[in-house]
Structure 1
Amino acid sequence: MPETGLLDPRSVRSLADELDLKPTKQRGQNFVIDPNTVRRIVQLSGIGADDVVLEVGPGLGSLTLGLLETGAAVTAIEIDEKLAPRLARTVVERMPEASGRMAVVHSDALQVNELDGDPVTALVANLPYNVSVPVLLHLLQHFDSWRSGLVMVQLEVCDRLVATPGSKIYGVPSVKMAWYAEATRVGTVPPKVFWPVPNVDSGLVRIIRREPPETTATREQVFAVIDAAFAQRRKMLRAALAGMCGSSAAASEVLVAAGVDPQARGEVLGIEDFARVAEALAATRANDAV
């Protein structure tokens, strides 16, 4: 057993064999087998012994052990019925002094809206590829106690999360992320450090919370405008928002009231612009109801 307690390729395979585990694309399972990559992720996350870390998709525990090594407490959410019960035992076996700082929640992260224990202060996770964006947005919405995070996602998803207005890849994930936080790409991870080996690179996204734009519109109202604007991203906003405004002409009036060019497309608007549009739309609906 390595002195550090971190998992290496041989121990990852041994655990998988013990569990008769066959990683599935359905659950986006790609396990980190390189201790140096784990240490790099933990170092970039900036967490310390005072943190309560939320981890999603811990798998066999590679990153979990690295997080515990800092002295932090970790709550890990794992959906897999084989992996969830094994994780706590892995910690006891490889890092027994940390077992009291470890909690495992056997559940779908998209169904978890609250957790027992101290409020989490940070999110650090190798998010399952297939649900990374929905899970991340869910955790931002329901757990506002964490102020910083570092997540590993498919590189294409990473670039979408950090994209800025005017970029060809700027879209719904980019804008919704901007409502909650500032996201920055801080590194890439090659396929060879995973088992099974994925056919794409991964990206590391640093997340720093910030307050949402000042607006009288609700998050739901703003997100509804974002979804409509990008549903057919090649359309001008006056056409893209016609359905929710009642007509193209009505959408133009709302956009003008918000200080937005009706002929613009969603990809050029920042989160503050979308908030103003949602506010103007809500005001128009309120006036129409009188």
Structure 2
Amino acid sequence: MAQKLDLRPTKRLGQNFVIDGGTVRKIVRAAEVSGSDVVLEVGPGLGSLTLALLEAASHVVAVEIDPVLAKQLPVTVGERGLGSRLTVVEADAMRVTPTHFSGYLPTALVANLPYNVAVPVVLHLLAAVPSLERGLVMVQAEVADRLAARPGSKVYGVPSVKAAWYSDVRRAGPVGRTVFWPVPNVDSGLVSLVRRDPPSTTASREEVFAVIDAAFAQRRKTLRAALAGWAGTAARAEEALRGAGVDPSLRGEQLEVGDYARIAEHRPA
């Protein structure tokens, strides 16, 4: 198909296509896709995962930024008699909202995400598509580690905490390099996300994320020092931290998302 389309995968779009049937079926099983699900897929590429999803889901909304691939996907699916259950959105996944989905409300995100934009895409979709109840995404192994990291881990950081605002996140298994074309130079992994209520009802997501960004912008500093700019002064930062029951001498990587929510709630007026 790539030869027919004169397609040359590009690093710019992070194009590494899954070509192994066993892998796509494993992903669909692990995502627990059922006939009641509307699945949101980002970067469907040549359609191997799309076809596996269509066998299990009621509908698939596929977001594809490459116009050649976006045009070909309905043809590939239609040849197998599944065209009525597919909606293709030719767009940048970082810009899509439910208004793009032709009335379908996705319940599950299942995707082989482009390596170069995986984290911002996941965070954008969790924020912009509240109907998503869960997700299973394939990303670079290093990114999977960061998303699923826990406080105290060397790779725990902003993506870990922000993803935890929306969902319970865990590693869901490794993926070998040889299932892709072209073969990438890095290993991949699956990440499971299960939506849950945010840890704060009084502080907004934007307010909590501002604390997270400030804490990790100077992660070698204590929270009293790192949050001085956010609070106005170091003394005011200490006031917020003590009000939230957080030791001001701790560092950002030692806190979980609930701690950040309480700090935001106690920001001095």
TM-score (norm 2): 0.97
Deviations 1:11-54 (A, max 9, x none): xxxx1111211111111110001111111111111001111100
Partner of residue 87, structure 2: 103
Counterpart Cα distance in 1 of 2:208 and 2:231: 14
Partner of residue 171, structure 2: 185
Name which of 55, 78, 93 aligns with 2:64: 78
How big is the alpha-carbon RMSD for the aligned residues of Structure 1 and Structure 2? 1.0
Q: How does 1:213-228 map to 2 (within 5 A)?
A: 213-228=199-214
Give the match's secondary structure for 1:132.
Answer: helix
Question: Any conservation in 1 of the 2:18–2:179 contact (CA below 8 Å)?
Answer: yes
Counterpart Cα distance in 1 of 2:222 and 2:142: 25
Counterpart Cα distance in 2 of 1:162 and 1:44: 17
Deviations 1:209-246 (A, max 9, x none): 10011331110000010011111211111111111112
Task: Find out whether 1:247 has 2:216 as its counterpart.
Answer: no
Question: Any conservation in 1 of the 2:94–2:121 contact (CA below 8 Å)?
Answer: yes
Structure 2, unaligned runs of 5 or more: none
Counterpart Cα distance in 1 of 2:139 and 2:71: 25
Counterpart Cα distance in 1 of 2:169 and 2:240: 30
Partner of residue 162, structure 1: 148
Partner of residue 40, structure 1: 26
Question: Any conservation in 1 of the 2:33–2:57 contact (CA below 8 Å)?
Answer: no
Identity across the alignment (%): 62
Name the stretch that deviates more: 111-120 or 78-87.
Answer: 111-120
Task: Find out whether 1:118 has 2:104 as its counterpart.
Answer: yes
Name which of 195, 199, 207 aligns with 1:209: 195
Q: How does 1:17-96 map to 2 (within 5 A)?
A: 17-93=3-79, 95-96=80-81
Counterpart Cα distance in 2 of 1:148 and 1:225: 26
Give the match's secondary structure for 1:82.
Answer: helix
Counterpart Cα distance in 2 of 1:137 and 1:242: 26
Name which of 225, 250, 259 aligns with 1:273: 259
Aligned-partner residue type, residue 231 of structure 2: C
Partner of residue 12, structure 1: none
Name which of 116, 120, 139 aligns with 1:153: 139
Counterpart Cα distance in 1 of 2:71 and 2:143: 30
Aligned pair count reads 267
Give the match's secondary structure for 1:88.
Answer: helix
Counterpart Cα distance in 2 of 1:110 and 1:214: 25
Deviations 1:131-159 (A, max 9, x none): 00100011100111121111101001101
Task: Find out whether 1:200 has 2:217 as its counterpart.
Answer: no
Partner of residue 4, structure 1: none
TM-score (norm 1): 0.90
Name which of 218, 234, 243 aligns with 1:257: 243
Aligned-partner residue type, residue 88 of structure 2: V
Counterpart Cα distance in 2 of 1:69 and 1:215: 39
Counterpart Cα distance in 1 of 2:8 and 2:216: 37
Counterpart Cα distance in 1 of 2:185 and 2:40: 27
Give the match's secondary structure for 1:264.
Answer: coil
Deviations 1:65-97 (A, max 9, x none): 11011243100000011111111111112x21x
Question: Any conservation in 1 of the 2:39–2:57 contact (CA below 8 Å)?
Answer: no
Give the match's secondary structure for 2:94.
Answer: helix
